[in-house]
Structure 1
Amino acid sequence: MFPAENLRDWRGEKVIDPDGAKIGDLEAVYVDTATDQPAFATVRVGIIGRHRLVFVPLDGATVLPGAVRVRYDKKTVGDAPTIDVDGELAATEEPKVFAHYNLPYETGAAGVRRLARR
């Protein structure tokens, strides 16, 4: 996993699946509010004029020259919950993002959101 201080450097780089298939371009990173560690990325997918952002976990991600490789296949990521390119993830949608990848979800202390965009 790449260090949190370098996250901004990877914006716009391609995101690929374990087989090297391009999923899209890294748009933003979301950190776990409990640990302040990178947890998910949004990946810009779609065709010109119809882009959307999908969420993919960063656990197990590796950095290659010019790409970030995630451990989920392109289809799984493509079927993940989305937001508009200028949208925000609603607090009520956070559990769905985790559920899509069969990851446990718990809110932070006192019901605080689990994900924060960096």
Structure 2
Amino acid sequence: MPQPDTTHVASIGRTVFAGDGAALGRLSALYIDTDTRLINFGALTLTHWGRRHTVFVPLDAADLAANSLTLRCGGHLVRHSPKVQVGRGLPAESEAALYAYYDMPYETPIDATRRMLPAP
């Protein structure tokens, strides 16, 4: 069994920017793909009009700098992304829709279990 990816672990708490340069919020959690053992999504805490909510953001092709993380997608797409409660996995029946939202390929796991879980 491959070891889990740890590339983005140090990015928790960093400021996240959209691909268009807009500051979005802070990365609050990481999610691992149970098939590949790679960290492929993060939970991003946004503050908008004094309200906080957390959304899923794809970390593939994200640019990790010393104090920030820049996503490949735009701010508008991120702000309207499916919401998440930090530390909880995405329900299995919602995973395909999340991947489709970000125009990412998705294969349903053979055993019909979750594919995305909070990273340890």
* Higher helix content, 1 or 2: 1
Change (3 A) 1:32 1:88: closer
Q: Which runs of 5+ in 1 are unaligned?
A: none
Q: Which runs of 5+ in 2 are unaligned?
A: none
Change (3 A) 1:86 1:33: closer
83-92 or 39-48, which moves further after superposition? 83-92
Name the TM-score, length of structure 2 as normaliser.
0.83
Map 1:87-102 onto structure 2 (within 5 A).
88-102=89-103
- Contact 1:29–1:41 (CA under 8 A) maintained in structure 2: yes
- Look up the SS of the partner of 2:111 in the other structure: helix
| Residue identity (%) | 33
Map 1:13-28 onto structure 2 (within 5 A).
13-28=14-29
The alignment covers a number of residue pairs equal to: 116
Map 1:6-45 onto structure 2 (within 5 A).
6-45=7-46
- Contact 1:17–1:69 (CA under 8 A) maintained in structure 2: yes
Per-residue deviation, 1:88: 4.5
Name the TM-score, length of structure 1 as normaliser.
0.84
The code of the aligned residue for 2:63 comes to T
Map 1:39-118 onto structure 2 (within 5 A).
39-47=40-48, 50-85=51-86, 88-118=89-119
74-83 or 39-48, which moves further after superposition? 39-48
Instruction: Output the aligned Cα RMSD.
Output: 2.2
> C-alpha distance in 1, partners of 2:47/2:87?
14
